[in-house]
């Protein structure tokens, strides 16, 4: 499965994931404390500069991911222009873009395995209480493996529907789709038990 980590290798790829996550938390808290427009413009510009540093391909990828915010930007600006409070609207929009941008930046520069290492570290206290965190890791692996498998089976179901009907497949294929997921789960559980279980 494709992850959202950027293929453009940056210096931040080598930094420890835990430190990046901590810095992100601190930066987001700070952003929500500040109501001043000039500071918010400065933070947003700083965030864009961070995207620009590793080069054009990285900047383009990052901006593409921020594009999903446009409905909120349009809605909030329109709202605040109508209520004659455009400055507050700009603060909200800039803060949202900066916060999402910074968070995406951490995701783009951190490999899935590094993120998993942070989760393992966070789950360490649970192991003291006898919780087996290995099953958590197995569950993660199962989801990563079975999402494309289920998606392919859903594709087959909709093709089978199209072969029989002139109408487009709608919600009716979700029932057999869920049956397929349940059957897969039962088979995998049986296979795990046959190999000695958890």
Partner 1 sequence: MERNLTMIALFAALIAALGLIPKFTLGFGVPITAQSLGVMLCGTVLGAWRGGLAALLFVALVALGLPLLAGGRGGLGVFASPTVGFLVGFPIGAFVTGFIMDQWRSAPVGLAAGVSAVLGGILVVYAFGIFGMMMTLNKTLPEATLLVQAFIPGDLIKAVLAGFITSGLAKARPASLLSRS
Whichever of 52 and 123 has its CB closer to partner 1, that residue is 123
Q: Report in angstroms how near the CB of residue 53 gets to partner 1 at its nearest.
A: 18
Question: By the criterion CB under 8 A, which residues form the site for partner 1?
Answer: 1-5, 24, 28, 32, 65-66, 68-69, 72, 75-76, 88, 92, 96, 99-104, 106-108, 110, 112, 115-116, 119, 135, 138-140, 142-144, 146-147, 149-151, 154, 158, 170-171, 174-175, 177-179, 181-186, 188-190, 192-193, 197-198
Q: Report in angstroms how near the CB of residue 163 gets to partner 1 at its nearest.
A: 18
Instruction: List the beta strands (DSSP E) in the chain.
Output: none
Q: Are 117 and 151 in contact (CB under 8 A)?
A: no
Q: Report in angstroms how near the CB of residue 74 gets to partner 1 at its nearest.
A: 12
Q: Are 4 and 68 in contact (CB under 8 A)?
A: no
Between helix 86-108 and helix 17-33 the angle, nearest 10°, is 180
Q: How many CA atoms lie within 13 A of 188 on its CB side?
A: 13
DSSP code string of 63-111: HHHHGGGHHHHHHHHHHHHHTT-HHHHHHHHHHHHHHHHHHHHHHHTS-
The residues near 192 (Cβ < 8 Å, ≥ 6 apart) are 198
Instruction: Tell me the C-alpha distance between 50 and 58, whole Å.
Output: 10
Whichever of 55 and 83 has its CB closer to partner 1, that residue is 83
Whichever of 5 and 42 has its CB closer to partner 1, that residue is 5
Determine the distance from the C-alpha atom of residue 166 to the mean position of all C-alpha atoms in its chain, rounded to a whole number: 36
Whichever of 127 and 134 has its CB closer to partner 1, that residue is 134
Whichever of 42 and 157 has its CB closer to partner 1, that residue is 157
Q: Report in angstroms how near the CB of residue 118 gets to partner 1 at its nearest.
A: 9
Whichever of 4 and 49 has its CB closer to partner 1, that residue is 4
Q: Report in angstroms how near the CB of residue 73 gets to partner 1 at its nearest.
A: 10
Q: Report in angstroms how near the CB of residue 30 gets to partner 1 at its nearest.
A: 13
């Amino acid at each position: 499965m494709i992850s959202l980590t950027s293929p453009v290798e940056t210096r931040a790829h080598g930094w420890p994931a835990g430190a990046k996550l901590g810095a992100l938390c601190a930066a987001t808290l700070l952003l929500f404390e500040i109501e001043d427009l000039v500071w918010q413009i400065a933070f947003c510009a700083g965030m864009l500069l961070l995207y620009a540093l590793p080069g054009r391909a990285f900047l383009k990828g990052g901006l593409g991911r921020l594009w999903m915010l446009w409905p909120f930007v349009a809605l909030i600006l329109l709202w605040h222009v109508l209520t004659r409070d455009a400055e507050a609207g700009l603060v909200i929009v800039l803060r949202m873009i900066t916060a999402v941008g910074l968070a995406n930046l951490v995701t783009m520069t951190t490999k899935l395995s590094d993120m998993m290492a942070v989760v393992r570290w966070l789950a360490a206290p649970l192991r003291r209480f006898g919780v087996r965190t290995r099953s958590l890791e197995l569950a993660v692996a199962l989801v990563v493996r079975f999402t494309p498998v289920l998606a392919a089976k859903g594709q087959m179901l909709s093709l089978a529907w199209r072969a029989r009907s002139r109408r487009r497949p709608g919600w009716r294929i979700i029932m057999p789709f869920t049956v397929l997921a349940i059957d897969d789960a039962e088979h995998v559980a049986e296979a795990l038990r046959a190999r000695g279980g958890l």
